[in-house]
Amino acid sequence: MSEELVKVSRAGKAYTRGKQKVSIFDGLDMGIEKGAFLAIMGPSGSGKTTLLNMLGGVDRPTSGEILFQGKRVDNLSESALAAFRAGHIGFIFQFYNLMPMLTAQQNVELPLLLTNQSAKQRRERAAAALEIVGLSDRAKHKPSELSGGQQQRVAIARAIVSDPELILADEPTGDLDRETANEVLTMLQELNTGYGKTIVMVTHDAEAARYAKKTLHLDKGVFVEKDLSA
């Protein structure tokens, strides 16, 4: 039986818009097993990104709880949540969100500044991460000198450099052409199968979702599950 990495129990998320209370989820349950590659699809405003943020400790549910490796994380303090994100979660964004003044190598090193590793260790790990994404030869280049696909690969290297258990990708191919998107998705697939990384990816793109082992459709706070691995 697979080990459960994340468990969402009766999670609710609501916010107020003017005087009106808007509910995104109400009593949402889900489990993410270790080693899963999960795609979450759904129409705009269905709460995909909100769910991803809650899984990554960026946002908190207004009710219910989120457990990571059996420990509750939704009620952690801000600084504890920051430490949780630094230690366990890797983030990949649609628009890469690299620091423009830093080289690829320096961007990848960023999360390691939060560790106790020496400068040499940080350099070595960043170099290793860039090698995994096939960008060793672009280490000294700044984001403006890289293509969109290369920038996203740098972002992937940044997400994996601290060896997190869970990688969260929010529309990682949303800004890329088909061919480049396939390269990035193949890379995520390799991270999942080759390195055992658990990945949750939010996407609008059904083609992208095919790279995941499982796709969940989120609509009005309810999941519809499809198993694509068969």
- Is the CB of 105 or the CB of 215 nearer to another protein? 105
* Contact status: 193 vs another protein (CB under 8 A): no
* Contact status: 82 vs another protein (CB under 8 A): yes
* Contact status: 58 vs another protein (CB under 8 A): yes
The answer to whether residues 40 and 9 touch, using CB atoms and an 8 Å cutoff, is no
How far apart (Å, rounded) are the C-alpha atoms in residues 149 and 138? 12
- Pattern 123-152, binding to another protein, x per CB under 8 A? x--x--------------------------
The least CB distance from residue 199 to another protein, in Å, is 17
How far apart (Å, rounded) are the C-alpha atoms in residues 17 and 77? 26
Radius of gyration of the chain (CA): 17
- Is the CB of 48 or the CB of 158 nearer to another protein? 158
- Is the CB of 123 or the CB of 141 nearer to another protein? 123
Q: Residue 19: exposed, middle, or buried by beta-carbon count in 10 A (0-12, 13-18, 19+)?
A: exposed
- Is the CB of 153 or the CB of 158 nearer to another protein? 158
* Contact status: 67 vs another protein (CB under 8 A): no
Other C-beta atoms closer than 10 Å to the C-beta of 70 total: 10
Find where tokens 């457990």 sit. Answer: 67
The answer to whether residues 38 and 216 touch, using CB atoms and an 8 Å cutoff, is yes
Interface contacts to another protein, rule CB under 8 A? 53, 56, 58-59, 78-79, 82-83, 85-87, 91, 93, 95, 97, 99-102, 105-106, 109-111, 113-114, 119, 122-123, 126, 158
